[in-house]
Chains A and B, each alone.
Chain A
């Protein structure tokens, strides 16, 4: 059983320390994610979702607890992990073209030129941007920039993909397309996905499980399984009674999290 666990977060705590002001962002988070699972994380704004993701990505020092990826403790950015940041526009390199942006991590990974070109083309194709390879990121719309960031992540062929509210800035139609894209890619690549969102419907539509976080200092309020069929569709899935039931439950959880409700102390 334990060999199918990809990500193991145990007693994670993170307090931001700065002179004169300490912020306890995450108090005690424990959860596990199996290999190839797609898990969504929801929680009130400021709950520490980004903090959690940055800890998993090895970009922050922990204040307590441990994060293990495939059995190894995370102390620096682990190999085989790609992150799509909340500030996707700022995470693209403006001096590079779209192609350059997607290609650079592959170059640093040591891939040969021909292999890189193939992967870049494939990834841009997957996100529906085959014609924008030579544009610069700032010549694209927000939704297109977002897709470049996603293309860069999938071209990297990670085994774990972290996404932080990646669709916050795009319009509803693009958003629905991108949601379907994430599910398609997840199924095709068999990658483990951790998807942070503040959109409850989105979390239920995308995830196999939804982790609901309490407000700060953060703990897991509830781990909600999403027992919807694997083949999901924007119209039929979202209008199914089962979907409504789960989303209502998650909605109530988030509301109670906002009110400051927390699980009883263990």
Chain B
């Protein structure tokens, strides 16, 4: 059946599919977590580290349980999530629109290439002084940092994606007299989709990092600010508990975006799987 199947265009941006150890991995991963928890529990109890700096895991967990009953925690979590999601959404829309426009017009692409290469590597955190100057510790500060960091992730992926359109597919669409908009909608967009999803996954993680950073350093309301407050008031177990929550948030986001990736790219991974 596969004898004459021609090779499909595959985005280089996708991770190679891991075929082996898929089933064992969650079990091993869980085991690793349990060991880490046990070590964190044991070290302070055995006196290897000072429990003022690293309380046992059970203490962190208890503190976390207490936080869950407080409205303040949930407000902070909500603020963080809203900041993260709105920044990510803006970056996605902007990255896709700008990417498709630049990518579709060769001249524009040539003109913007060096500018993009210059702006992209600027770390978002380097903009902190600037945004503080303009917005202080208002949510806008975090939003700008989040959007800036996530935008490049999306834009670069979309540019790769648009460039990946197969010339034969493009000629096919042209010969059937698809309109310009139809070519973008039914040729460029599906081709770029795998890249867009990869961009989404990368942007989602980066956005969370920048949101927490802004809250922690600038004092934008959210979980990051709570961490800073807990830390400066010497509430060590709370600090750890909040850090754990942020970590779990990161894991959750990653799991979700991977699920989205798998769903959206069903045809694509199947192509790769069969090849």
Contact = CB atoms under 8 A, between A and B. Distances in A.
Q: Do A and B associate with each other?
A: yes
Interface in B147-178: 166, 168-169, 171-172, 174-178
A169 B179 CA distance: 31
Contacts of A108: 176-179, 182, 186
11 contacts: A58-B175, A85-B172, A89-B5, A89-B6, A91-B172, A95-B190, A108-B182, A138-B271, A141-B3, A142-B4, A143-B4
A111 interface: no
Contact of A138 (B3, B8, B176, B178): B8
The 4 closest A-B pairs by CB, nearest first: A142-B4, A89-B6, A105-B176, A90-B168
Contacts of B5: 89, 138, 141-142, 145
B1 interface: yes
A199 interface: no
Interface string A87-99: 1011101111000
Given A89-B6, A138-B271, A169-B4, A95 B172 contact: no
Interface in B1-40: 1, 3-6, 8-9
Nearest to A136: B267
Contacts of A58: 175
Contact of B175 (A77, A87, A138, A145): A77
B70 interface: no
Given A57-B175, A77-B175, A138-B274, A91 B168 contact: yes
A79 interface: yes
Interface in B255-275: 267-268, 270-271, 274
Interface residues of A, number: 32
A160 B187 CA distance: 24
Interface residues of B, number: 29
A87 B6 contact: yes
Interface in B79-118: none
A136 B270 contact: yes
B193 interface: yes
Contacts of B9: 90
Contact of B172 (A83, A136, A143): A83
A81 interface: yes
A123 to B, nearest CB: 14
Contacts of A82: 175-176
A82 B177 CA distance: 10
Contact of A95 (B4, B177, B268): B268
Contacts of A142: 3-6
B168 A85 contact: yes
A109 B179 CA distance: 10
Contacts of B177: 77, 79, 108-109
